[in-house]
Structure 1
Amino acid sequence: MQLFHNYKAISKTRITVISKVGILLLALLGWFERPQVMAQANITYVEYYLDQDPGQGRGTPVTITPGVNIQNIPITINVNNISRGVHILATRARTAAGVWSFSHYWYLFRPYIELAPESVSNITKVEYFVDADPGFGNATNVPITNGTNLVDLTFNINANNLAVGPHIVGARAMSANGAWSKTNFWLFYKPYNNLAAGTTPNISRVEYFLNNDPGFGRGTALTVTPGVNLQDLTANIPVGALANGPQLLGMRALTANGNWSMTNYLMFIKPYANLTTANSPNVNQIEYFLDYDPGYGNGIQVPVTPGQNFADLTFNVNLTGILPGTHFVVARARDVNGSWSKINSWQFTIPGTAPVLESIVNGNNFCAGGALNVGFNLPATVSFNSNNLFIAQISDANGSFAAPRVIGSLRSTS
């Protein structure tokens, strides 16, 4: 086998492979450790090894002409003395300064001898076993006609002595020269007896449990009329002692001959207390705000008469001074016990163009950490509601506000 390997310091390597014996190579690339590209020393030595690293300088040397960039090095490797199968080939180089490259690795495969069709041995034996492998040659023999290719071979397995349930069958073959194939496995299932309708035992007991299984026969029994098919069975299950939230119900049945069914599970939720109108506390406060939450109790109050159900409640929202653009109105309620509802929000848009505010900065000299007064002039037609948020931003050195930095904010009316 010949390899043509491109060595160059500080660069990933490029590999071209020419194989004389059909060897498969997978390259793992490496590079030299020293980063001085402009002062590279010549590569003066290249070596390779197979499988076991003998240490730097102890591999098989490769004849080269020293140079900074050595391309297309033919490396002839004698594979006659290695076993058939997978191996690792590694190569590395050393510069005149004594610096070693990383090792470059490839997986290679020396194939097994390919037999000619006329030399393939007949299959002379096929055997199988169930569950436990008795060893090669000790399983149950399958009658066959000797041949090199037994296609669609079928055989019967005696399952009378097997327990009902899942099993594994393994089958394999042996050639005339004593070579065994790999063992092939299949999973199969011996079903339970299919009882006739007249012999099916009655279901004599049904029981259930909640959350924790007490064991077969120890659950809470349901009143049933024995029969082979209990359809649409209903039962009242007391849940008064259960905590509110998710619960697990398990149910199973027992036949007259003592066989239990599988346990069936159902998940259910015991709801939290449902307050009736009679004991629900009155709602005595409703408030709303625009865009920014001022905090519970600090919104704009909606006049209401305390009550329990405010269906289709309408109220006017003061939009005076709200700038054009997209906004949110948010409302919530509180009962006499001080409990707040979840918020309800709606999005709306005010058409138009927002007014331009002219900033006025007083002063010429400013110190880091010092106070900076920022004012602005409003058009005469613009006014603000209470609790507006004013934000001061500073541009970059070029005066651009594409990515402004916030230097302060104020929540105020003006």
Structure 2
Amino acid sequence: MLPLKARAQQPTLVGAEYFFNADPGFGNGANIPITSGPDVSFQTQVSTTGLGLGFHRLSVRFLDNIGNWGQVSTRTLWLGRVTALTAVPIVAAEYFFNADPGFGNGTAVAVSSGLTVDFTTVVSTAGLSEGFHRLSFRVRDQNDIWSLIQTRIFWIGRTNPDQISPIVAAEYFINTDPGFGNGTALAVTQGPNPQVEGVINVGDLPRGFHRLSVRFRNQANEWGLVTTKLFFVENEGFTDPALVDFIEYFFDDDDPGLGQAIEIPLDEAASNIDLDELIEVAALEEGEHTISLRIKNNKGLWSIVETREFTVGEPTPGDPPIPDLETLPDLNAECLVDFSALDVPTATAADGSSLTGTTDESIFPISQQGTTTITWTYTDENGLETTQTQNIVIQDITPPTISLPAEIIVEANPGQCFATGVNLGTPITDDNCGVGSVVNNAPSSFAVGLNEVLWTVTDVGGNTAQFLQLVTVQDTQLPVIPEIADLIVNTDEDACSATGVNLTTPSASDNCGISSLTNDAPEVFPLGPTLVTWTAVDPSGNSSTRSFNVIVNDTQNPIIIAPANVTVLIGEDEDVATNVELGTPEMSDNCSIASLTNNAPSEFPLGQNTVIWTIIDG
């Protein structure tokens, strides 16, 4: 069987030939002398003797060292009367719109005489209607020979690029433009993208090259640009479409003649043939061969021969391996991918063998978060390679965990209302891919009371978890009230108590401050000592007391009024008076009378005696 793929060997070119128009067959053209080699460059003179005036086709082909002819390279040429190709100065130029008025009848353009001219001119479009027009230029040399025309298409009118006018008509013409609307009408589906189908009659055209032109008209009655194709009329009778009804082939340029080669059966004649056919090559020797194919239409006309080279035997692999999967799936993981986790892809070589992909294993394991693209390489036994990429996607979506003592209770530093050096404990963290960092917002010192510490753990994938820890700082330190000396005051005048006693506030202190300082002093202090206690309380409720005495002294003397003088009569024979009734003195005190005494003797001698009364208050 003929392999589907073949690779040509580098041939050596040993011969060449040319012919005009019809192909005379391999080896029957005019010989071209060449120097043998893989690449040939030559110049030769081609005789046009016997050719008529008009267009002709010049074809050239080459012969290699194993007898194979190559494909034909063809160029179209014009044969006519021309003057000698001698450089002649250009002396004049003219332009015209649309229809050619004939040599010298266009609008003249002033040029400076020379072998080449470069000029700028203003072209008047006055009198031209809206629509497309053709502007054509040509020059004339001093031998009065006019050049070919250079033509450009341009548009006159107002256009709106945002508005597309629907197509409503189409026409065609051959060779000469009859003017807008004067061509042969074609049926067209209206709209901005028209579809045209039609049969174009070329039966009345003479043999030779012709130009088929088609243009469209929109709803605004504006004609579009012309689309032109060049075609060739070989024989008459081409009005009806031709159908392919016979295909044949032969090997190694051994042409048995038209209709005598090996037939490829067709189900039916058709204008286009697209088929797959197995060609039997078992009878051919191993090595390089050619297969040539031609077709015949239902009018009895044969096509030119198409030839291809192929190899019989073990086919030389010429195509790189083809991956078995068009696209490799992404491999997703949270932490890392080791090479062992990969499904190694495969490919199929040109000879059908299976190949295993290889990649750079040194980059594994891959743990970097994100997408890493690796390249697989498939290499067949001939060194042909194919590469294929695959994405390794590492995306950690599992957050870490963290745990700590939920609450810590500590004492405030001595003499301070805060605690420092607090041991918060060591957090216990865990993560599937690894912990990246653990931080908290703990201050350097914790105030007395309730404090919150927020712990944050972040894993290597950027996922986070948080834990709220409570730190309670207790204040158990008592306030301090310094020693207070006893306070001595006097009773109020004519009173046995003291009021309005000024108790100096003690300078109490505490590590966190004093929230209250009070005492239990009465409004009226009685005579004698009264114990007064100061109580200091800090914000945490700790309290302490300090007591002292307020001593009220009575310094007001009592008042005494002695009884009236007493006169006592005694007998003549007596010289003393006894049992004298002295009376009772009047007395008073702001507090109380403790005692009343006098120094009266038991016997008063004759004469004046003085008795002193003494009163002592309580």
TM-score if structure 1 supplies the norm length? 0.26
Could you say which structure has the greater relative contact order, defined with CA pairs below 8 angstroms and 6 or more residues apart?
A: 1
